[in-house]
Each structure stands twice: as C-alpha cells, then as structure tokens.
Chain A
Amino acid sequence: METKGLNSPGYEIPDDVKGAVAITTIDRIYNWGRRSSVWPLMFGLACCAIEMIATAAGRYDFSRFGMEVMRPSPRQADLMLVSGTVTKKMAPTIVRLYNQMPEPKYVVAMGACASGGGPFKEGYNVVSGVDKLIPVDVYIPGCPPTPQALINGLIKLQEKIDGQHWKDTRWYREGDLAAIPIPMLGPDLIYQEQIPAIKEASKEA
C-alpha cells in the first residue's frame, strides 16, 4: 500500500511496519479514498465531450488518477463532468441527474460553454453556464479544453477534495439535503425561484 499521502506528519512509524501502517486523521483517509476514485458520470453534452473521450483513451489516460470508471447511471457517479453547451431543453434533465447523484458529489464545468455560455451564449436556447442551474466546483477554460487542461482541472478537483473537512461538508450536516428545484419548460425556461418575479412582471405589463 502506498501510504505516503496518508501519513500525518510528525509520527515515527517503525521500519518493519512501514507501508502497512499509517497514522492519520479521519479527514485524510476519507479524502484520500475519495480523491483516488472519482467516478465520473458518463455524460457528454457537446464538442467538449469528444476531448473528454480523448482524455479517457490511451494517450492521455485519466485512469492514472482513478477516474476511468465512467458510470452511465447518476446513482453510481461522484463527478458530473459537464462537457459542453447547456441548452434550455436539456436543463431540466441536467438538474434531475444532479439530484439523483448521491453525496458527496462534485461538478466540473468543462469548457467555455459549461462555464458561461461560450460562443453560443447569446442563443435563445442556451443557458449561460451550468452554474445557473447547479453549483460548480471547478471551471476549466478552453473551447474545447485540451486533454492536458482537462487533466489539470481534475487535479484541481483532487486538491479541493484534499482540503475538505468532515465537519463542514454539506453531506455530514444534520437533516436532509434539499434537492435543487427543477426548472420547467414553458414559453421559455422557467426557473422555479423566479416565479414570484415573473408574476410581478406580468401584473405590471
């Protein structure tokens, strides 16, 4: 077993059990396990998904980071790699998928589109970034980001996981975690939290 990343500094471990015994903290062992097996949801939205596939293939190979186990079902996934343009027609599905993922879950916005709408931002069917719908942990710039950039973003995510503390992560708090309200497809996309404002505007008109 590789215990280098696991040991808390300042403890002497006798030579004969080195590699078999680690003195560590709860946080460290949780995070170590979590960061080494981030399973992405097999979920491709647009052009960026092709670079994601290229990253999964032999040349760049993100299985080196424990991320090769792509899961088609959100119930088994830890990471939603939003790889492409988020459209309004797709928005309810994306939120639903996110709600179906078990905690702890992470979201990476890959590329300009997922981060902020990208080249298609002004389009009538385009949501200006996936963070209009769900919380995002890491943004990766690029159109599309090269595989190197994607891997860099995923390493950033691992760093973020390393810094988490069980006391203040949302999934160890008491009570149920609220699901994100699913937007509706009306005459345009309707965000649930905007319904009062829309009603207000309709009265004024």
Chain B
Amino acid sequence: MTTLDFSRFGTSVAVDEREGYEGYLVSADKLVEFATALRDEYGYDYLSSVTGVDYIAEEKFEVVYHAYKTIGGAELVFKVQVARDKAEVPSLIDIYPGADFQEREAWDLLGIKFTGHPDLRRILLWEGFEGHPLRKDWQEAYYEEDIKPFKSRWPKAEYTRAEAQNPYGANVKYPDQFDPEKWVPEGEDALYGSLAKYETTDESGLKTDHLTVNLGPQHPSTHGVFRIAATLDGETIMNLKPVMGYLHRNHEKIGERNTYLQNMPFTDRLDYLSSLSNNFGYALAVEKLLNIEVPERAEYIRVIMAELTRIQNHLFAIGMFLNDLGAFFTPSLYAIEERELVLDIFEMVTGSRMMCNYFRFGGLARDLPAGSLQKIKDLVFDRLPRKTDEMDRFLSENEILRSRTVGQGYLSTEDAIKYASAGPVLRASGVPYDIRRAAPYSIYDRFDFNVAVRYNGDIYDRYIIRLDEIRESIKILQQAVEQIPEGEIQTGKPRYQMKVPAGEAYGRVEGPKGELGFYLVSDGKGNPYRYHVRAPSFINLTAFGPMCKGLKIADVVAVLGSIDIVLGETDR
C-alpha cells in the first residue's frame, strides 16, 4: 500500500496499526476536511465503497471507506470510529455524491447516522421496521445461534422446523408491548416527502400540481421487483427516486452466520446472471485473508469462466434492453440462444447452469471435464464472434433504436465519477477505468486486450459498449484457451472448514456490471465477522435519478435498461 503524508492533520489522521488492518483512522470531526483534501489534492476522485462494522466488544462502530484514483492504482482505505451509543458520522455526500445510497444503507442496517445527509431514510427495509439488523446484538425471528454450524444440526442433527419454534409459526417478531391496532403505517410518507413537491403558477394565475407516479414493484420493465417513484410535469420527469429492497434477502446477516465456504453458493445468488464473477470476487477476498496462492491452471480456468460470464451477461443485458425499447422479445431470443450455449459449458464444467458455486479458496471445485475445452474453443473462435457481429448488424444502426437512444440519458464524465458509477456505465461516459487493467488481479496482466471506452455518455453508448466488451472478452478467451497449462487446480488440500487469520480484506473484480467488491473482517474464527458486498447494480443506481431528470417517462425505462441492474445484487 502506498504511504501518503497526512502529517498536516496532526493526530486526527493516524495509520491503522491493528494486526491485519491497513489504511488510516480519521477522527470524525476532521472527516470532511480529510475527504476534501483527498479528492482535491491527493487525486482520489472516486469513492467506491462505504460501509460500517459493528465492533460490539469495543463498544464502537467503524465506518470504512475505500477510495481510488480513476487513473488507476491501489486503493486507499480510511475509517472513522464512533461510540456505539452515539453513532454519528458526518456525511460525505457533498464531496462524493456516490456515497448517497451507501450511507443510507449503513443507516438502515447498522443505525449509523450520517449528519448532513439530506435524505437519510431506510433504503432496503421499510420505514417503521424495528431495529437495525446488522448490529451484532440484533437477532432475527428464526435466530438459533450466532454462528454456523448450528449445534442442533451438526453433529447432533436434530433439525426441527424453524416455524415450530416461533410463536406465530412465521418468520416474524414484534417488540414488547406492541399493539397492532394502534399501528399507523407511515411508510410511504417519507418517500413522497423526499420528492420535492412542485406547484407552478402560470401568468393567468392557474395553479398546476405535479403528479407523482409509481412504476413497480410489479412492472414489466423494471427487471424484477424494483420501484421508481417520480414526480412529473406532463410527461417530463421533474424528480425521480428509485425504491428498492423488495428483494432484500439479508445476504450480509446470513453471511456473518455462515462459515466462509458456506457463503460461496450465496454469492452465486447475488447477481444471479453472473455467478462465476461473484465467486471470483469472494474467493479473492478470502484468499487475501488466508494469504494463499492459486495454481496456474486454476487461474486460467477462473479467467475463462469469468469472461464467459461477462459475455452471457452482456448478451442478456442487450436482449432485455431492447425489450425495454419495445422490440419485444425478438432480440432477446437471439441473445438467449447464444447464452444457452455458454450455459451449457457452465453446466458441463460446474454442474449447474446458473448457480455455479465453482470457486474454492486457493483453487476450484473441480477440473475442466474432458471435451469442455474444445467446446469453449469452438465457441470463442467461431460462433461467438460471428454472432456478435450479427447482433451488431441487426441492431446498432436501427433507426428506431438510434433515435430513442442517441443523446438521451446523458451522464457526463464528471458525474459518472462523482456518483461512483462503475463498469460499462462509467466507461461509456469516457472514463477508461477497468479493474482488470487499473489494478490487475489474478492473471489479467498477461492478456492483450483493450479497455472498451466510449465518450458520449448516452444510452446508445451504454448499449454499444457492451458489444465492445463482448469482443474484448472474446479476445481474452482466445488467448487463455491457447495458453492454459496442465497442472493442479487447488493449492493444498480442499477444506470445508478453516480458521482464517484476523484482519480485514477487500477483494474486488471487474464484474460484468462494474466493480464488485467483497469487504471481509475476520476475528480469527471460522466465520466472517463482517461480510459486506459492494454491489455495482446498487451503486450505479445513484446516478439514475440525475440521468432521468428532464426526460420523458417512456425514456426512463430505456435509461434503466442501459444501466443493467440485477435485483439480487441491488437489494442483496
């Protein structure tokens, strides 16, 4: 890690000297000043991740920030510690607007107040929910023990249904003295209150109220259970807020009860279109903690699988995006046809089409079966390049597609960085930032490929950049399948349970949707003490509202399609 000179802050900024930790500890009162200097003087213009950790034994909350330079290089970690009973940290939203949703999430799940945040509402749960679930002393309705394996199931194996143990026979729990008849649901008021009310009066004195419209959570174009609340002037968007959490499946709480390996299949279900990239990120983070190497052959297989994942994700994204534009299902049928071929390879290699659960710490679950490499070669040397060109030919010059997308949903370079957009969204706005190049992991430094970048920042560029990226991935694959050596696929003996040295680690990969990061804190046991996912689908939505302002309501759908979100990852 690079050492920087922060002596001007005196004792307010200190190097984090705990065993296994890195970065700087900043005192809360100097945080804003520190962050401003970081952005303006030290060049860390991109705040990628904000999250909190509950150190209950020390009566402290810690907020952890990861910042980068968009010109590349290593990350800078800085942290703020506050007392648990007075959990207030100044918000960084004015310096890094990309912190918006992440601070809200930390408030929602951990109950850390970010002073100065203009809209600090719950984001994944609903207003009125009791408690902050990621606090270590908060227990869910089906709580059994703090960590797995639960004694009832292993080694004793006397499993009773969780419903039988809960007084209501359902996964619910109410505070003491709760009277349901006196309950006043207020859930939506805060949301509508946060959408500024507009009332205009024209020359004749006629007053116009603006309409608030909801799209979703059940809507054909929201790619799942996602909701958009917008105020309209006629058909024009005045203000728009995404509402999520309808698929909040409590990854992080469950992940902190699980053992390290048990989390691997859960990562599959984050961005369920690209399970192998998720495996990759998580494996990298744990390997950092364990400090183990991965054998050559396994590295190659990892790269091959990750790039195939990117291709099928982008194919699906393009198909669904065209759905949103009104080309209902025909382009998707073409895209899904190719995707199925990639899924066949996944099934052959990992045993599952979608939920691959294939990576292990220090290697892989199994080697490539006979014949699979040939299948991959056929795909990447012949079929996929051809079909990508075909897609391009059919779609890219289409009159309707162009007129719906060129110049629409504009995101400037500065805004893309400011809002911490990642992946294709960032690169379509002219920032050639790709973690595979900016901070290479695994063996990406060996391959010859270009970072796809486009400069207009509109919907069209966000569409076409995905085709570019498919082509670059094919390039990487062509090199990887030729170079792959024989050998081991696992360092040491595969273990299902292990003690992980205490410390923290942040593993990040360039997933198909952008930077996917896993922040882990270990306390030396067999379960992660803190398990946080930096989800690109979630953070990319920060720019969604600003991008839509001034557009017509029909274009919102196109903008959303061009961001390419997956709700499993957005809501986790």
Contacts and interface: CB of A to CB of B under 8 A. Distances in A.
A87 B247 contact: yes
B173 A202 contact: no
A94 B355 CA distance: 26
A167 interface: no
Interface in A190-205: 190-191, 194-195, 197-199, 201-202, 205
Contacts of A194: 168, 170, 172
Contacts of A202: 174, 176-179
Interface residues of A, number: 56
Contacts of B129: 185, 187-188
Contacts of B168: 191, 194, 197-198
A4 interface: no
Interface string A107-147: 00000000001011111111110001000000000011010
Please indicate which of the listed interface residues B185, B249, B355 has the most CB atoms of chain A within 10 Å of its own CB. Answer: B249
B171 A53 contact: no
Given A97-B218, A128-B170, A84 B247 contact: yes
Contacts of B250: 120, 123-126
A128 B218 contact: no
Nearest to A117: B171
Contacts of A46: 224, 247, 249, 269, 272, 567-568
Interface residues of B, number: 65
Interface stretch (B113-121, B333-341, B456-464, B529-537): B333-341
Given A125-B249, A187-B174, A57 B179 contact: no
Interface in B519-572: 567-568
Interface string B149-168: 00000000000001100011
Given A47-B272, A59-B340, A144-B355, A126 B171 contact: yes
A42 interface: yes
Interface string B14-32: 0000000000000000000
B109 to A, nearest CB: 10
B248 interface: yes
Contact of B141 (A47, A59, A124, A205): A124
Interface in A33-57: 42-47, 49-51, 53-54, 56-57
A185 to B, nearest CB: 5
A188 B332 contact: no
A199 B339 CA distance: 53
Contacts, number: 180
B269 A186 contact: no
Interface centre among B142, B144, B173, B332 (most CB of A within 10 A): B142
A83 B266 CA distance: 18
B126 interface: yes
Interface string B328-354: 010011001101100100000000011
A72 interface: yes
B338 to A, nearest CB: 11
A121 to B, nearest CB: 7
Contacts of A189: 170-172
A205 B253 CA distance: 28
A58 interface: yes
B219 A72 contact: yes
Interface in A142-193: 143-144, 146, 184-191
Nearest to A85: B249
A143 B266 CA distance: 11
Interface centre among B133, B174, B217, B273 (most CB of A within 10 A): B174
A50 to B, nearest CB: 6
Given A144-B355, A146-B353, A190-B183, A90 B217 contact: yes
Given A126-B250, A194-B168, A195-B180, A185 B126 contact: yes
Contact of A58 (B130, B177, B337): B337
A47 B336 contact: no
Nearest to A68: B329
Contacts of A74: 218
27 contacts: A45-B224, A46-B224, A51-B354, A53-B332, A54-B336, A57-B332, A85-B247, A90-B217, A120-B250, A121-B142, A122-B142, A123-B250, A123-B253, A124-B141, A124-B250, A125-B124, A144-B355, A184-B183, A186-B180, A186-B185, A187-B130, A190-B172, A199-B179, A202-B174, A202-B178, A202-B179, A205-B177
Interface of B: 124-126, 128-130, 133, 140-144, 162-163, 167-168, 170-181, 183, 185, 187, 217-220, 223-225, 245-250, 253-254, 257, 265-266, 269, 272-273, 329, 332-333, 336-337, 339-340, 343, 353-355, 567-568
Interface of A: 42-47, 49-51, 53-54, 56-59, 72, 74, 84-85, 87-90, 93, 97, 117, 119-128, 132, 143-144, 146, 184-191, 194-195, 197-199, 201-202, 205
